[in-house]
Structure 1
Amino acid sequence: MSKIKVKPSVPTNIEIESIKNNHARLNVFPYEKGYAISVAHPLRRLLLSATVGYAPIAVQIEGVKHEFDSVRGMLQDVAEFIINLKNIRFKIKDSEKDQVTVSYSFEGPKELTGADLVSDEIDVVTPENFLATLNEDAKLNFSLIVHKGIGYVPSEEIRQEVPEGYIALDAFFTPVKKALYNIENVLVDDNPNYEKIVFDIETDGQIAPVDALKMALEVLQGQLAIFNAEMTVVESAPTANALLGDNSPLFQKIDVLNLGARSYNSLEKAGIEYVGELAILDQNELKNIKNLGKKSIDEIVARIEEFGIDTSSLTPEDKEAIRAKINKLKG
């Protein structure tokens, strides 16, 4: 006969293994059966959506009026320069500041990388990332606004907040590159039905993996704190699926996913323009896209999840609504 309990046991062990820089594996145990996934899944979602990071939100380039312009002597056009800039990961040195503006001046010949953007106010955690190539007659002067934030904010929502003359950028703040978990069985007092969470967390260097998990825990505790307060039951009207709103990432161009060139080119050739077109496809449909291999599919699925989109929750009616709205956007 099973031992009668009045409350579940609490895990007592945590093991932290450093895999490499900014990559750690955590083993947490023992959980009673069913409790491990109840803890692991929301923490993973919060790691990907609520961890604080930094991103450039606007750039002003001397002599440039819009993102389709060019700079004399710079090999890349402004659009490509902006893509490269968004792939560089920054960190404000003063943790008390939410925003800094930094200015740069470069002359060619020179190949610019993230390392060239380190200043008194910001660090660059991806110093090797390429930015631009300047010819011998090139002069590049630009100012950059770097902001602290969470999740993803499209340039359309930032445009009204930046000074005149600046080009607003899509801001991808999330510093967590990977957050995976496995649930494994573990033996406790001859009982093989206890469980262990194995967390695999990798960041871009803006924050350490363990600190990212601590931040996710704080957010989760904050979200649950309301249940400790006095609760009053009130009638409320049902709300529409927030994913289908006008500002949903589903209706943003696939550029916001910052995919690798191979993945992006395959989708472009297949005529896929919007994130929602990917979200409504199942794994088999993704595999049928020409030149889209397993690595590219894994990249696409991971990027979609980073935007907090749970494709498994989409009903056939949701998918039809998404498809109809995208068809309308395409005209």
Structure 2
Amino acid sequence: MALTQQELIELPRVEIEEDKGSYAKVTISPLMVGFGITLGNSLRRVLLSSLPGAAITRVRVEGLLHEFSTIPHVKEDAIEFLLNLKQVRIRPLALRPGTIILDVQGREGEVTAADLLTPEHLQIVNPQQHLLTIDSSEARIYAEMKVEIGRGFRPAGQGDNLPIGFMAIDAVFSPVRKVGYQVQPRRSPQGTQYDSLVLEVWTDGSIEAVEAIRKAAEILRDHMTAVAQVGKPPVPVISRGIGAGLLLTEEQRNMPIGELGLSIRTYNALRRTGISTVGELLELTEDEILSLRNFGPKSYEEVRQRLEEFGILPAAGVERQPPERLVEGEALEEEMAAATEVEVPQATSEEAAPSPEAAALEGIDPRLAKLWEVKARLEEEKKEE
């Protein structure tokens, strides 16, 4: 028996009614009767609890032993100061922790979030947020704040043991402040009944409301994709980053990055960030990869080429210079920088450094042999000068 027009499920259209940065209002329709509540409630729950954000989790104030202390020459006590810090909203440009410093001396008056010193990957969204009031120019306030990445809300009582001198504060990671939705019944000119979902989202400014809706939908999609594979052989899908949309085998996804044959400098930069598998690497965007410490454009090109050589990433259709080929300038500097990160056996003047091919036969790491070649060439250039 064929489905009637009213029983057919039509994919909805999404229209942005208002977009004011931290506030957005969108309409999703037409939806099959009942899907308005199903979709609206699901999006609301994900928006409020599942989006990642940054927040201050612990604070150390120079001269203070606990949160019940008073701060010399400051109107607010320690608890008020911590509550004000809790209201500071932070936009993470990269999903990694950081440290914020407050160092004020030789002045009176109000201190706001604009006085906070932040690393490059963290931005203060509300610099006008009041922190404390100094009533003497003799005061000196130095505070160190740890920022972490998380989801939802974490009370101060949870987490690891605090280092000596640090005070914990409640962490509000969620960048979404409020979500509201309405389901309005509609009828088409043909008499078909359907739902129209009106969704409103307010954020703290660390993320735009439209982007928050998109990310929440992506989280739902990824989970529904996994459910849709029930009874089928699992096919890992990369949902974001440079590998978005790739279908990988479990072996490819869990492949250690050490098997890619990366240079020592590039490998160490990835490992220090906690990236150990190809799957974790592919889920990072180009901007997130380039923001890693000691990771420049050449290292990124090296990673892409290795992934293409292993058939994990599709070829970009342009020729790339192999990272092993040494050129003047940046390439040579990166190879020499890598040499400082590992212990390289010194070759005497009587014996020449082995070639990579000979090193392989002798059981020596070819990368160390490559470093020998670089150092030998530098010494020859110095002699010629």
TM range (shorter): 0.5 to 0.7
Moved over 4 A (4+): none
Q: Match for residue 139 of structure 2?
A: 138
Q: 1:42 to 1:13 in 2, by over 3 A?
A: same
Paired AA for residue 104 in structure 2: F
Query: For residues 125 and 66 of structure 1, what CA distance do their matches in structure 2 show?
Result: 28
Q: Match for residue 129 of structure 1?
A: 129
Query: For residues 208 and 150 of structure 2, what CA distance do their matches in structure 1 show?
Result: 17
Query: For residues 134 and 37 of structure 2, what CA distance do their matches in structure 1 show?
Result: 51
Q: Match for residue 69 of structure 1?
A: 69
Q: Match for residue 185 of structure 1?
A: 185
Worse overlay, 185-194 or 75-84: 185-194
Query: For residues 97 and 163 of structure 2, what CA distance do their matches in structure 1 show?
Result: 13
Query: For residues 90 and 226 of structure 1, what CA distance do their matches in structure 2 show?
Result: 32
Query: For residues 202 and 30 of structure 1, what CA distance do their matches in structure 2 show?
Result: 24
Query: For residues 141 and 200 of structure 1, what CA distance do their matches in structure 2 show?
Result: 41
SS of 1:155's equivalent in the other structure is coil
Query: For residues 150 and 61 of structure 1, what CA distance do their matches in structure 2 show?
Result: 26
Q: 1:71 to 1:159 in 2, by over 3 A?
A: farther
SS of 2:141's equivalent in the other structure is strand
Paired AA for residue 109 in structure 2: K
Q: Match for residue 116 of structure 2?
A: 117
Q: 1:15 to 1:228 in 2, by over 3 A?
A: closer
Query: For residues 104 and 127 of structure 2, what CA distance do their matches in structure 1 show?
Result: 17
Matched, 1:9 2:9: yes
Unaligned 5+ residue runs, structure 2? 233-385
Query: For residues 20 and 227 of structure 2, what CA distance do their matches in structure 1 show?
Result: 39
Aligned CA-pair RMSD: 2.2
Paired AA for residue 46 in structure 2: L
What is the deviation of 1:3? 6.2
Larger radius of gyration: 2
Kindly indicate whether the alpha-carbon contact (under 8 Å) linking 1:158 and 1:168 is maintained by their aligned counterparts in 2: no
Q: Match for residue 38 of structure 1?
A: 38
Q: Match for residue 103 of structure 1?
A: 101
More strand by share: 1
Query: For residues 53 and 219 of structure 2, what CA distance do their matches in structure 1 show?
Result: 14
Kindly indicate whether the alpha-carbon contact (under 8 Å) linking 2:101 and 2:117 is maintained by their aligned counterparts in 1: no
What is the deviation of 1:7? 6.4
Paired AA for residue 139 in structure 2: A
SS of 1:156's equivalent in the other structure is coil
Q: Deviations over 1:238-283 (max 9, x none)?
A: xxxxxxxxxxxxxxxxxxxxxxxxxxxxxxxxxxxxxxxxxxxxxx
Kindly indicate whether the alpha-carbon contact (under 8 Å) linking 1:158 and 1:169 is maintained by their aligned counterparts in 2: no
Q: Deviations over 1:306-325 (max 9, x none)?
A: xxxxxxxxxxxxxxxxxxxx
Q: Match for residue 270 of structure 1?
A: none
Q: Match for residue 168 of structure 1?
A: 168
Taking structure 1 as the reference length, the TM-score comes to 0.64
Q: 1:18 to 1:128 in 2, by over 3 A?
A: farther
Kindly indicate whether the alpha-carbon contact (under 8 Å) linking 1:114 and 1:127 is maintained by their aligned counterparts in 2: yes
Q: Deviations over 1:128-150 (max 9, x none)?
A: 22110012221100101111110
Kindly indicate whether the alpha-carbon contact (under 8 Å) linking 1:60 and 1:144 is maintained by their aligned counterparts in 2: yes
Q: Larger relative contact order (C-alpha < 8 A, sep ≥ 6)?
A: 1
Kindly indicate whether the alpha-carbon contact (under 8 Å) linking 2:109 and 2:134 is maintained by their aligned counterparts in 1: yes
Q: Match for residue 206 of structure 1?
A: 206
Query: For residues 31 and 99 of structure 1, what CA distance do their matches in structure 2 show?
Result: 41
What is the deviation of 1:179? 0.5
Q: Match for residue 84 of structure 1?
A: 84
Query: For residues 147 and 164 of structure 2, what CA distance do their matches in structure 1 show?
Result: 16
Paired AA for residue 28 in structure 1: I
Q: Match for residue 148 of structure 1?
A: 149
Task: Output aligned runs, 1:141-290, within 5 Å.
Answer: 141-160=142-161, 162-191=162-191, 193-230=193-230
Unaligned 5+ residue runs, structure 1? 233-331
Corresponding pairs, count: 228
Q: 1:8 to 1:169 in 2, by over 3 A?
A: farther
Q: Deviations over 1:209-248 (max 9, x none)?
A: 111112211222233344234459xxxxxxxxxxxxxxxx
